[in-house]
Structure 1
Amino acid sequence: MKTRKTGFIFLLLNIIFACSTFAQKYNEVDKIVLKYPKNFSTTEKLAERINQDFKSDIDKARAIYSWIAFNIRYDYNAFLNPQRTQGFSYSTEAEKQRKIKELNDRLYQKAFSSKKAVCEGFTALYQHLAELSGLKCEIIRGDSKISVRDIGRKNTSSNHAWNIVLIDRKWRLIDVTWGQGYFDSSKGRMVTDFSSIYFDTDPDYFFAKHFPDSGSYLGDKLNKDDFLNGPLIYNKTIENDFKIKSPNSGIIEAKYGDKINVEIKNLTKSDQVFYLNKRNQPVLIKNAKEKRGGLEFQILYDNNIGDYITIFVNTNSIVSFKVIPR
């Protein structure tokens, strides 16, 4: 009888947890869009449905984000085997813009019909649906930071694309490609996992992981060195607003015996904080102190630490640093 009761409580807790996770993952707009058909005959029909169901610009922009993230999958094979870039010539700015539009039209039509795309297709489809919904939207191309190997890179490259959309006289940052899921290196495949954090992302977090080809955002120059040399942050960092205050660089120079000081905002002592040593064994942080709205602690640099330190909070990776021995 006791086993049955324990099993029932466990099942109940799992149901409660699942419902809680669902509630946190999707907002009211998302829940409506989840009921939409996977297939619409045209992009105009989809935009018509969105404009019928939602009246505010922010809700329309979110509905477009959600539908694309729910229904368009990242084409990892196309990423591994990219088609040769087709250049074009032009004699006037008007001709250049017309040819860019023709290219983007082909991209969004292919993404919409095949239900798969790489970032260029995601962004072209988002821009097209936004414009059909009366929103001003642009595509931004630039660099992305997704791996510990990106920490301390010497140069940026143009390897990604995202959107900005104007809502209530404010440009919002959108990366629907990353909103639909991620690549799981341990499984060697894309994982579908809707995330809302790349819709209207805080610029401080966004530009820790993105760097536009122009080197600027809304006329303000961005610091390329900060992007290249900054720590790598993860989705849970943004989702929980875990601000990394120290170290302020992603590159740590240290010698054996040094203590690396770490400060992360919006953590408490009730959070389980640890890092992995070079044998992938968890090392629990035991010297953490609550201070200034977060946790401060030290990590001893010794021969058990490898080339990188990744800090976890409650099993989720939060931030990675590159360590250079002195």
Structure 2
Amino acid sequence: MRVSVLLLTLLFSITSFAQRSDFQEIDFKKADSIAHYYKDASLKNLPVLTHNLTASLKTDIEKFRSIYTWISSNIANDYSSYIKISNKRKRFAKDREAFLDWNTSITPKVFKSLLEDRKTACTGYAYLVKEMANLAGFNCDIVDGYGRTPTLLLEEDSTPNHSWNRIEINDKWYLCDATWSAGETIVVNGTPLFQQDYFDGYFLADPKLFAKNHFPINKEDKQDLKTDAFKDYVAGPVIYKEAFLAPIIPIAPVAMHNILQKGASVTFTLQVPKEFDGDVQLLLNKGGSQKNGSPIVTKKEYEISLAQQFEKKGFYDVHIAVGEQLIATYVIKVK
């Protein structure tokens, strides 16, 4: 028995995540249309809803797609609930075990509110994905940890603030974030307003890119994600959601903030899909004035490098863009 447990532990600890490219031949139109057909369906009977979303679909990936799309298209993000939960989490900043116990205890309350109001914070999204996926016969877990966004940067002493899921399909594990797929919260005249707008990039996301803005608190999940230390995670560049569509993965520099001498160059390196043909640009913002960079561009299979020289002293916000979409942001100090 001990040997079996040890083997299972070892196997679990070296599990690596796969990505959506495994299903390039799958057309999700039917799954998405079913999710749309059951728009506004009641959450009061999850087994019935799950059955309706999956029964007519042949493949496991289509079944999970229908569940995921329905959740991210029908559940609103409750910002006030997020703030309350975040404040509670801060109480357990230095007591990981207490945090995990509290996080488990709060889940039923979050789920009750979700059923009644059809809105929730990230914990509720992750819980609903897990429950419906389990009902459909999938192995699916909640992953608790940290999430970085362009408007929410973290420090080394930040508390956990996010939850997402991992799911097993065809004997492989995948990552997804239904909260960030659901839309975004904007502030209008001091009031947070949620805009429901399904975003596909976090559905079975590339694990290497996912680790750029997600950091789990459990040791096993850190090994699975192949993440660096938390210190390196919070120091990384800002990653925009549009990076997840291709996907495009910033490789270098590793840190967001970089210092160099006047006249020196910085090489920005991106991992890209094999057939990628997008127009990659550098936008240099200095003192509120923005201009296009003039990098030396080198293209290889699966990689694009942009070497930009900085000839004037000062601070630069360097945005990497593909077309009109921002991918990542760095800060360069030129001495």
Task: Provide structure 1 residue ranges, at least 5 long, that are not aligned to the other structure.
Answer: 1-24, 88-95
Partner of 2:205: 201
Give 2:128's aligned amino acid.
Answer: L
Pair 291,228 (structure 1): closer, same or farther in 2 beyond 3 Å? same
Partner of 2:331: 322
Q: Give, in whole Å, the separation in 2 of the partners of 1:276 and 1:183.
A: 27
Task: Provide structure 2 residue ranges, at least 5 long, that are not aligned to the other structure.
Answer: 1-26, 92-99
Do structure 1's residue 259 and structure 2's residue 265 form an aligned pair?
yes
Partner of 2:297: 289
Deviates more, 1:244-253 or 1:120-129: 244-253
Q: Report the alpha carbon displacement of residue 103 of structure 1 after superposing the two structures with TM.
A: 4.4
TM-score (norm 2): 0.75
Do structure 1's residue 146 and structure 2's residue 149 form an aligned pair?
yes
Pairing partner for 2:256 from 250, 257, 266: 250
| Alignment deviations for residues 132-186 of structure 1 (CA, whole Å, 9 cap, x no partner) | 11112111110111137737x3345311001111111112111100011123468
Cα contact 1:288–1:295 (8 A) shared by 2: no
Do structure 1's residue 159 and structure 2's residue 167 form an aligned pair?
no
Cα contact 1:179–1:196 (8 A) shared by 2: yes
Cα contact 2:186–2:193 (8 A) shared by 1: yes
Secondary structure at 2:71's aligned position in 1? helix
Partner of 1:13: none
Q: Give, in whole Å, the separation in 2 of the partners of 1:311 and 1:280.
A: 17
Larger Rg: 1
Cα contact 1:109–1:125 (8 A) shared by 2: no
Do structure 1's residue 32 and structure 2's residue 34 form an aligned pair?
yes
Give the number of aligned pairs: 292
Give 2:196's aligned amino acid.
Answer: T
| Alignment deviations for residues 209-236 of structure 1 (CA, whole Å, 9 cap, x no partner) | 1111124427546322432222222222
Partner of 1:134: 137
Pair 313,282 (structure 1): closer, same or farther in 2 beyond 3 Å? farther
Structure 1 segment 162-173 matched on structure 2, within 5 A: 162-173=164-175
Pairing partner for 1:180 from 173, 179, 182: 182
Pair 183,309 (structure 1): closer, same or farther in 2 beyond 3 Å? farther
Q: Give, in whole Å, the separation in 2 of the partners of 1:215 and 1:299.
A: 38
Pair 239,65 (structure 1): closer, same or farther in 2 beyond 3 Å? same
Q: Give, in whole Å, the separation in 1 of the partners of 2:139 and 2:180.
A: 21
Secondary structure at 1:66's aligned position in 2? helix
Partner of 2:74: 71
Q: Which has the higher contact order (CA 8 A, sep 6+)?
A: 2
Do structure 1's residue 112 and structure 2's residue 121 form an aligned pair?
no
CA RMSD of aligned residues (A): 3.3
Q: Give, in whole Å, the separation in 2 of the partners of 1:175 and 1:212.
A: 13
Secondary structure at 2:37's aligned position in 1? coil
Cα contact 1:69–1:177 (8 A) shared by 2: yes
Deviates more, 1:261-270 or 1:45-54: 261-270
Pair 275,314 (structure 1): closer, same or farther in 2 beyond 3 Å? same
Do structure 1's residue 223 and structure 2's residue 223 form an aligned pair?
no
Q: Give, in whole Å, the separation in 1 of the partners of 2:261 and 2:29.
A: 47
| Alignment deviations for residues 15-73 of structure 1 (CA, whole Å, 9 cap, x no partner) | xxxxxxxxxx9744212211213122522221120232224322222111111111001
Q: Give, in whole Å, the separation in 2 of the partners of 1:216 and 1:163.
A: 14
Q: Percent identity?
A: 22
Deviates more, 1:67-76 or 1:77-86: 77-86
Give 1:311's aligned amino acid.
Answer: I
Pairing partner for 2:56 from 37, 46, 53: 53
Pair 210,245 (structure 1): closer, same or farther in 2 beyond 3 Å? closer
